[in-house]
Chain A
Amino acid sequence: MTQPVRTPARARRVVRAALIAASVATIGFGAMELPGAAASPNPADTQLDRARTAIRNYEFRGTVSLWWRGQHRGQAETIAVVAVDGALRVDDGRFLAEQGRTWMRTGKGWTTLWSDTRDVGAPSAARKYTVARHSGPPIVDRPTRLIVIRRHGRTVERIAFDRATGLVLGRDRFDSSGAPTMRLRFLTLTDLHPRRGAINAPDVGVNAPGTREPVPEDAPKSLTGGFVLVDARRGDDHVTQLRYNDGVFEASVFTETRPLDWDSLPAGGQEIHYGDVRARRYRTAAGTVIVWEAGNRTFTCVTGATSTDQVGIVKALSRSHDSSWDKVIRFVTSPFSWS
């Protein structure tokens, strides 16, 4: 049997076929590594993408009213927002966001809060939620489109987008009980026009937090409630930030491999127990902050997700880091504990 003669044209076809096969395989493996990545965009994601683009493409001045459920009662604030030269300035310029990066003004300089703008590939909202699109009420005399996100028939989030520009003009967040936890509305919106200039953004420090890091091997890749680990970042000091996402809400879990100094926690938190896990909870406009210790590690979870999801996150992480060996060590050392 004779071997086929490889002419240059035939060789090129073979190489091309091999490259195509390799590309297909690469895409396939890539998809396998990111099981949470959205298969198709949902209306909420599409609209939020448009809202971010609107910040870059429009300039405006506005004020927003903010209400949130505090520790014991509702709290309210009015905040100034200005978009100019492709950047957003919030709270009288205290916070500056541009192209996914964020800085906070400290004294005469800027502290980088976030510097990595790469997409982390959050899972599709459709995996857990139902997303519906409606015609919304006018806000600051502008017609809106409303995205309503529900879970088990209950609304967990409602976002009103400006029909003309795509800006988010209103946002409501609800707890699993249906009670509102946060409400944001534009009160004024003036000088709205296409962007004119470009900002000269502050420098990003070499040691700025937010730099992407390899995911720790012992970090749970998924949590109760459909949260998928999408990212690991370096925080301040020796803190690792694990980012979980369920398609709508994000949960940041900051971990330190040492036990918690309970006395260092600020006043005003609420002592709660998730099963046998002791935790301290704080309610803020940005979401709920829960601090606890498990397996000689300290966890701080920040999330806008519902109370039900918070319980699932705390329990799942505590179980995964409270090994039998940790329990033995804790049993032996507990008589000497200072807490």
Chain B
Amino acid sequence: MTEHHESTAETVADDPRLSAWLDNELAPAERREVDELLETDSDWSDARDDTASVRTLVRDLGAAEPPVGFLEALLTADVTDEHGPDERVTDLDAAHRRRLRRSTAAFGALAAAAAVLIAVIVPGATRAQPALATDVRVHQAGVSSSSDPVSALATLGGLSRLGK
């Protein structure tokens, strides 16, 4: 009985073979295996595209110049003091992947909020809101031009309850 693992783009991104594939560090047999996965499994191809784009982004940032004395201090520093010998080393690839996931989630939340906002606002913007008092005034002004102005315009009082 074979064990079945459900893969997603996120779990695939954590697979060390992907990172090695991107760095062209796999043995020929392993590389063929990953090539096949990339062709047949969209989670693999998605993860490859995401990871590759993050790498490109990071590389495009360019090299940062360390401050004066930074390297010397790093070489002479006692790694056992303050944080102790078991201080974990940060995996930059994993950090970028987490950042990418957080960005995606934030973008999704923003899109959802925008959709809700549009749904609330748009009905008011796309629906007619007749200016009844103005309509009555314009109508009576037209009547005034072809009938009796006194009776046409004297009736325009008391329209404030009709709004604008």
Residues of chain A touching chain B, judged by Cβ–Cβ distance below 8 Å, are 48, 51-52, 55, 64, 66, 68, 75, 77, 79, 81, 88, 90-91, 95, 97, 100-102, 104, 113-114, 116-117, 119-120, 122, 159, 167-168, 171, 182, 184, 209-210, 233, 235-236, 239, 241, 243, 250, 252, 254, 256, 258-261, 264-268, 282, 284-287, 289, 291, 298, 300, 302-304, 338
Partner of A285, one of B123, B137, B157: B157
B145 at the interface (CB under 8 A from A): yes
Question: Which residues of B from 116 to 145 have beta carbons under 8 Å from A?
Answer: 123-124, 126-132, 134-145
Q: Are A52 and B139 in contact (CB under 8 A)?
A: no
Q: Are A114 and B132 in contact (CB under 8 A)?
A: no
Partner of A236, one of B134, B139, B159: B134
Q: Are A286 and B135 in contact (CB under 8 A)?
A: no
B59 at the interface (CB under 8 A from A): no
> 7 closest Cβ contacts across the A-B interface?
A114-B141, A261-B127, A298-B128, A102-B141, A264-B129, A113-B141, A100-B145
Partner of B143, one of A77, A79, A101, A250: A250
B153 at the interface (CB under 8 A from A): yes
Report A-chain residues with C-beta under 8 Å of the C-beta of B128: 256, 258-261, 298
Give the A-B pair count, Cβ closer than 8 A: 174
Can you name 13 extra interface pairs (CB under 8 A) apart from A90-B154, A90-B156, A266-B162? A81-B154, A91-B153, A102-B144, A239-B130, A252-B142, A258-B128, A264-B127, A265-B130, A284-B158, A285-B156, A286-B136, A286-B155, A302-B139
Report A-chain residues with C-beta under 8 Å of the C-beta of B155: 66, 68, 182, 184, 284-287
* Residue among A77, A258, A264 facing the most chain B CB atoms (10 A cut-off): A264
Q: Are B151 and A171 in contact (CB under 8 A)?
A: yes
Q: Are B138 and A235 in contact (CB under 8 A)?
A: yes
Tell me whether chain A's interface is mostly helix, strand or loop, or mixed.
strand
Q: Are A114 and B123 in contact (CB under 8 A)?
A: no
Report B-chain residues with C-beta under 8 Å of the C-beta of A303: 139
Residue on B with the closest CB to A167? Answer: B150
CB distance from B118 to the nearest CB of A (A): 13
Report A-chain residues with C-beta under 8 Å of the C-beta of B141: 97, 102, 113-114, 210
Q: Compute how far the CA of A100 lies from the CA of B141 in the bound complex, rounded to whole angstroms.
A: 8
Q: Are B127 and A120 in contact (CB under 8 A)?
A: no
Q: Are B138 and A113 in contact (CB under 8 A)?
A: yes
Q: Compute how far the CA of A66 lies from the CA of B130 in the bound complex, rounded to whole angstroms.
A: 26
Q: Compute how far the CA of A68 lies from the CA of B155 in the bound complex, rounded to whole angstroms.
A: 9
**Sample (25) of A-B pairs whose CB atoms are under 8 Å apart:** A48-B148, A51-B149, A64-B154, A66-B154, A68-B155, A90-B153, A97-B141, A102-B145, A113-B137, A117-B145, A122-B146, A210-B138, A236-B131, A241-B139, A241-B142, A250-B146, A250-B147, A252-B138, A252-B139, A259-B126, A260-B130, A266-B132, A284-B162, A287-B139, A302-B136
